[in-house]
A and B are shown apart, each in its own frame.
Chain A
């Protein structure tokens, strides 16, 4: 009891801020590591549908993305308003898909090529016609592991 009253009299020392930069740097490095710079501009509008049976895609380097949706307003003058495919950062047609897959494939180490997955990010209002064409093209190219991108249902 005596102990406590003794302490009260003392003035508490100022907290040292010398380690503040270190803490901030630590946070900085964390965010630098997790950051993925958006490598391509989104040219089509994609709102993925909701689903419950979801699988998480691991290993980003083994995934290639195909976007299907209506062109955003900026590009409607040149690309029209019908649903289009976006590969990488440009509009594409069905016939461009095999080359796109091959370009991604050569970047992957040979031992992991069997694990490549394609993530289809398709707008929910797109009709199945174009989706089926893309699926057929993927099957012909031998890319069979496909992930229909979706949001968890709340």
Chain B
């Protein structure tokens, strides 16, 4: 009797019809838990820390593009109130100085962007300013790459990119913030 029943079972195949259902169940579980996070952001290289006070470098004022952001999130660019919309064009003009004005950068390699903010400045505003400055540099590099090599900066070879980077270096100096408006 027992022998027979084992034989019966052996001859039976496992029903695989529900395999798809089980797989579906697992699939739906992973679909729900999946977060295909794309982490994107503004990449920044911080200056190394040194305990000694930095040497005071005397820079010509014509080469410094100072951007101040106060605790009310207002911008002061080279001593004049400004707004975010015009910052990028303004910075581009300053760096390249196409009309060779005496109050703008001598040449792109000498231009320095100096940023300063209050401790009460909103992070959003800070990042927007940083983004605009970076955007200005990226656009300038793109233009230079197109003119020289006939393609966008990101499609250039490593050497070509280096050449353009040397021509238009990105120098952003950030001063210690002043203690205003911290909550």
Contact = CB atoms under 8 A, between A and B. Distances in A.
18 contacts: A21-B23, A24-B20, A51-B42, A53-B134, A57-B39, A82-B183, A117-B43, A124-B122, A127-B181, A127-B182, A128-B126, A128-B177, A129-B182, A144-B46, A144-B48, A146-B44, A150-B41, A151-B40
B177 to A, nearest CB: 5
Interface stretch (A2-10, A26-34, A84-92): A26-34
Given A35-B30, A56-B39, A142-B49, 9 more contacts: A32-B30, A49-B124, A117-B43, A125-B122, A125-B123, A131-B126, A148-B42, A148-B127, A149-B39
Interface in A25-74: 25, 27-28, 31-32, 34-38, 48-49, 51-57, 63
A142 B40 contact: no
Interface of A: 17, 20-21, 24-25, 27-28, 31-32, 34-38, 48-49, 51-57, 63, 82, 117, 119-120, 122-129, 131-132, 135-136, 138-140, 142-152
Contacts of A52: 131, 135
B120 A25 contact: no
Contacts of A38: 35
Q: How large is the interface on B (under 10, 10 to 19, 20 to 34, 35 or more residues)?
A: 35 or more
Contacts, number: 148
Contacts of A147: 39, 41-44
Given A24-B20, A56-B39, A136 B122 contact: no
A123 B123 contact: yes
A142 B50 CA distance: 10
Contacts of B49: 136, 139-140, 142
Contacts of A149: 39-41
Nearest to A48: B41
B42 A24 contact: no
Contact of B123 (A35, A119, A128): A128
Given A28-B30, A128-B177, A151-B40, A138 B182 contact: no
B124 A34 contact: no
Contacts of A48: 41
